[in-house]
Amino acid sequence: MELDKCLELLYRGQLLPEVTVRALCFKLKEMLVRESNVVHISTPVTVVGDIHGQFHDLMEIFHIGGPAPDTNYLFLGDYVDRGLYSVETIILLVALKLRYPRRIHLLRGNHESRQITQSYGFYTECLNKYGDGSKVWHHLTDLFDYLVLCCIIDDELFCVHGGLSPNVQTIDQIKIIDRFREIPHDGAMADLVWSDPEELNTDSIGHREEFYRESSQQFQVSPRGAGYTFGRCVVEKFLHTNDMSRIYRAHQLCNEGYQVYFDGLVTTVWSAPNYCYRCGNKASILELYSTNEFYFNVFEEAPENKLLNDNVNLLVTNSKAIADYFDDNVSEPPQQENAETDIFSDAYQARSASSRRVEYFL
Amino acid sequence: MADRRPLRGPGINTFQIDAARKVHARTVQARIPQAAASAASERFISPSPPTTSAVRRLVPRHVCNSPNNPPCASCGTMIVPSPAATLPLQDCPSMTINNWTISTRKKPILNSQELEDWENNKLKGLTLPEMIFGNSYVRIENTLHGWTLEFNALDALKQVKLADCGIRVSYSKKWMDSKQQKQAQRSSSPTEFEVDDSSLKIAHHYDWTYTTRYRGTEESKDQRYKFTRDDTQQLPLDKLSRPDHILFYDDMILFEDELADNGISILNVKIRVMDERLLLLNRFFLRVDDVLLRVIDTRVCVEFDENKVMREYKEMEGDYKSLLANHRISHSHDPKAALRDSNWVAQHAPVVSREYETLNFD
């Protein structure tokens, strides 16, 4: 199948046949195997954070940020899991990367992994959409092993999914990681996709204040017993050593769509609005025009999110019911409203209401 | 109804009134779940009462306090709060039976200012869970005696211990060991950036599983109204399992954290109100992958006629591997699916403790 034909189907939210998915994955692996762990790109570019299978919100991103390839995109990872359309989302991004390799860049997130996708929905979704015997999940997770880890924009802005690692002091140390593997629990590769910044307000500390202030600047072991959080000192040192000015990362939900740490040295970009269809949060994409000119384009959930399999009959019945209810305009034909976007429409509200089960729990 | 000709002179255009009314009617109507919606629309067409009212009590004794929700007193449908809960109406569904008022509120996750306030003032020392629905609540109020029982995220999180909970993720030991080894190797040639010995100990302790033994926030004007404990009694399960008509239903998450993809920690509260009684279930569910499962249930049952409140508190906990083994016998396809289902876990994990209390108003 022609790549453009694939894209056309994918943009409409349709699935591609398994053989095509396999071929796309194979082609992209061929392309990615030649890439370094750290890719260098330049502005202008739009940085996108976690998407998590929210296909309609990805469409919204292309809508507000500009279509590919007119806009350059850097995706920071976590394309799959949790949302209902992980398969559609990742395959579209794969096809776009193949079609416009210099315009689209895909980093690896912690969800681009075999182990995580088995617990958080992508595995189940692949089986549901392609059947129990399909290998789609295998093709895609094998492809994930080839995704690059970091990206540097204009030699100045460091972009990664999670954060820094005590095993990484220089960019060269990232370049020598053997990335063609499942994400391990331990080591630099794990930290890059997992770790979080931790900003501790110094007045909030209370006991052991001195000790705390000291250690909170450094890498700290999470109380879970594995993984790190990193403080301001770590960031400053890393930026200084590598002659960079800022870090952009994703990985953590924020209500406003982005979150600034350490006076702007680290910024989280989050691009999944109304995360898991229940958080009610905003999302954003970061539009970088040059290293010092940037704009957070904040947006909310795309209204189509709950309307993928729109039932036309239902809509007609309901608008008739409304027309009958307001008997004064019964002679007029029911006003044809844009069912796709009218959030007041019966179909829209009722669908989401009926998806909320009323159960006789005990 | 106003006619469709625009008014002359000042005042609101009839079109606008009409449109506003329509929007309101549709929003309200759409909240009736699908099956009920078609029945309701029939009613709109024919003013004569529907024929299927035999089951219903002749004179409904409850009052719906929110005009934005379906008028159940006349139509017999249940109150299902708006799924969107934001635009443009404030959604605070509420109803009253005798001297009991039940209300709920559902809001998006906290924004960054609120989070900062919680982190620095309200919940000092706790690293907050990823998603906090801090402005949502379920409230049961006895208006006659000024007694309230409320379930909200803040009070639930106040009961999370600020000490080591002793639980570690499954790969923690391996992770720690490998760090220690590396440190031993490197101690001869220290490099900057290295984590020193002390910081391999976890500096900031809090219960990262967010286990809370929250049973609701009680408020009472009169000190006499206290729960009395009597573990020998049981909730009236026979009455609660009857398919009485549900007049009011809501289901919400108070907080949730995915434990950096090591499982899930979630506090959920749901309520159903029937004509004679109500049942509320406040459930904390914890799954630490490959380590343990824990369910903490608080059930509250109110008998409206007897003015009696019953509260049952139950803790269940089981080892991950033994529960998974238990499940493998029954199913084989997606064995981990059951461990994502808190109902299944609640039924199969051993009960650790149970308490039962009652409170009588006379």
Domain segments of chain A as ranges: 3-301, 309-354
Q: Does B117 contact chain A (CB < 8 Å)? A: no
Cβ contacts of B71 on chain A, cutoff 8 Å: none
List chain B pLDDT tens, one digit each, 362 residues: 444 554 455 555 666 666 777 777 776 666 655 444 444 444 343 344 444 444 444 566 777 776 555 445 444 455 555 544 444 445 677 888 888 999 988 888 888 888 888 988 888 888 889 889 998 999 999 988 889 999 999 999 999 988 888 888 887 888 788 777 777 776 555 444 444 444 566 667 788 899 999 999 999 888 888 899 998 999 999 999 888 888 888 888 999 998 887 888 999 999 999 889 999 999 999 998 888 999 999 999 999 999 999 999 999 999 988 888 877 665 555 667 777 888 888 888 899 999 999 999 87
Contacts of A173 in chain B (CB under 8 A): none
Task: Count other C-beta atoms under 10 Å from residue B231's C-beta.
Answer: 12
Q: Which of A119, A241, A337 to mutate to test the interface with B (most CBs of B within 10 A)?
A: A119
**B51 and B158 belong to one structural domain:** no
Same domain? B217 vs B298 = yes
| Nearest CA-CA distance, residue A253 and chain B, Å | 7
Compute the C-alpha angle B136/B138/B142, nearest 5°: 140
Residues of chain B contacting residue A227, judged by C-beta atoms under 8 Å apart: 175, 260
Neighbours of B189 (CB within 10 A): 7
* Average pLDDT in chain A: 81
For chain B, what's the residue count? 362
Residue B82 to residue A216, Cβ atoms within 8 A: no
Q: How far apart are CA B231 and CA B311, in angstroms?
A: 10
B178 part of a folded domain? no
C-alpha distances out from residue B272 to A357, B138, B144, Å: 12, 11, 21
- Does B63 share its domain with B210? no
C-alpha span between A68 and A100 (Å, rounded): 8
Instruction: Classify residue B197: in a domain, yes or no.
Output: no
Is B172 part of any domain? no
State how far residue B93 is from chain A, nearest Cα, in angstroms: 14
- How far apart are the C-alpha atoms of B84 and A343, rounded to whole Å? 9
Average pLDDT of span A137-144:
94
Q: Which CA distances in Å does A330 have to A47, A319, B131? A: 50, 11, 47
Tell if the CB–CB gap between B261 and A350 is shorter than 8 Å. no
State whether B132 and B281 are in the same domain: yes
Neighbour-count burial for A3-15, b at 16+ CB within 10 Å, e otherwise: eeebbebbeebeb
The one catalytic residue in A111, A139, A161, A251 is: A111
Return phi, psi of residue B179, to 5°.
-65, -40
Q: Report yes or no: A352 at the B interface, CB cutoff 8 Å.
A: yes
B171 touches chain A (CB under 8 A): yes
Is A242 in CB contact (< 8 Å) with chain B? no
For chain B, how many structural domains are there in total? 2
Q: Could you tell me if the ipTM is greater than 0.95?
A: no
Q: Does B105 reach chain A within 8 Å, measured CB to CB? A: no
Q: Which of A90-94, A184-188, B193-197 has the lowest mean pLDDT?
A: B193-197
For A304-338, the pLDDT digits (tens) are: 654 443 333 333 334 344 444 443 333 333 333 33
What is the DSSP-derived secondary structure letter of residue B223? T
Give B246's contacts in chain A (Cβ within 8 Å): 358, 360
* B71 CB within 8 Å of a chain A CB: no
How far, CA to CA in Å, does B31 sit from each of A226, A348, A351, A355, B135? 45, 10, 9, 11, 22
CB contact under 8 A, B112 and A169: no
- Residue of chain B minimizing CA distance to A226: B172
Residue A40 binned pLDDT confidence (cut-offs 50, 70, 90): very high
Rounded to whole angstroms, the Cα distance separating A204 from B121 reads 8
- Mean pLDDT, rounded, for A147-173: 92
Which of B77, B95, B115 is the last residue before a domain boundary?
A: B77
Partner residue opposite B172 with nearest CB, options A226, A322, A360? A226
Q: Is A206 in contact with B125 (Cβ distance < 8 A)?
A: yes
Task: Please answer whether residues A344 and B26 qualify as being in contact, where contact means their C-beta atoms are separated by less than 8 angstroms.
Answer: yes
Tell me which residue range forms the domain holding B147.
104-163+206-360
Residues B72, B109 within the same domain: no
- Cα dihedral sign for A47, A52, A53, A55? negative
Instruction: Count Cβ atoms within 10 A of the Cβ of residue B11 and give its class: 0-12 exposed, 13-18 middle, 19 or more buried.
Output: exposed
**Which of B26, B58, B77 is the C-terminal boundary of a domain?**
B77
Inter-chain CB pairs, A–B, below 8 Å: 213
Tell me what pLDDT residue A305 has: 52
Q: In whole angstroms, what is the distance from residue A332 CA to residue A150 CA?
A: 59
Task: Please give the pLDDT value at position A223.
Answer: 76
Which residues are A249's β-sheet partners?
A268
Alpha carbon distance, N-terminus to C-terminus of chain A: 53
* Chain A positions in Cβ-Cβ contact with residue B177 (cut-off 8 Å): none
**B176 CB within 8 Å of a chain A CB:** yes
Question: Based on the domain organization, do B140 and B249 belong to the same domain?
Answer: yes
Reported as a pLDDT band with limits 50, 70 and 90, residue A144 is: very high
Q: CB of A212 within 8 Å of any CB in chain B?
A: yes
- Residues in a beta bridge with B97: B62, B100
Q: Is residue B93 part of a domain?
A: no
The answer to whether B31 faces chain A, any CB pair under 8 Å, is: yes
| Token pair in block for residue B144 | 């006659």
Instruction: Kindly list the residues from chain A whose CB atom is less than 8 angstroms away from the CB atom of residue B33.
Output: 350, 353-354, 358
Contact A144, A101 (CB under 8 A): no
Architecture of the CATH domain A3-301: 4-Layer Sandwich (3.60)
Active-site residue A111, yes or no?
Answer: yes
Tokens of B189: 């040639």
- Same domain for B55 and B123? no
Q: Answer yes or no: is B82 within a domain.
A: no
pLDDT tens digits along A108-125: 999 999 988 888 889 988
Q: Taking CA atoms, what residue in A is nearest to B235? A: A362
Please indicate, yes or no, whether residues B33 and B123 belong to a single structural domain of this protein: no
Within a domain: B63: yes
In this structure, the answer to whether residues B140 and B19 fall within a common structural domain is no
Chain B residues within 8 A of A352 when measuring between CB atoms: 83-84
CA A42 – CA A303 distance, rounded (Å): 33
Is B283 within the bounds of a domain?
Answer: yes
The sheet carrying A258-261 orders its strands as: A38-41, A150-153, A157-160, A246-249, A266-269, A258-261
Q: Note whether A312 contacts B: Cβ–Cβ < 8 A.
A: no
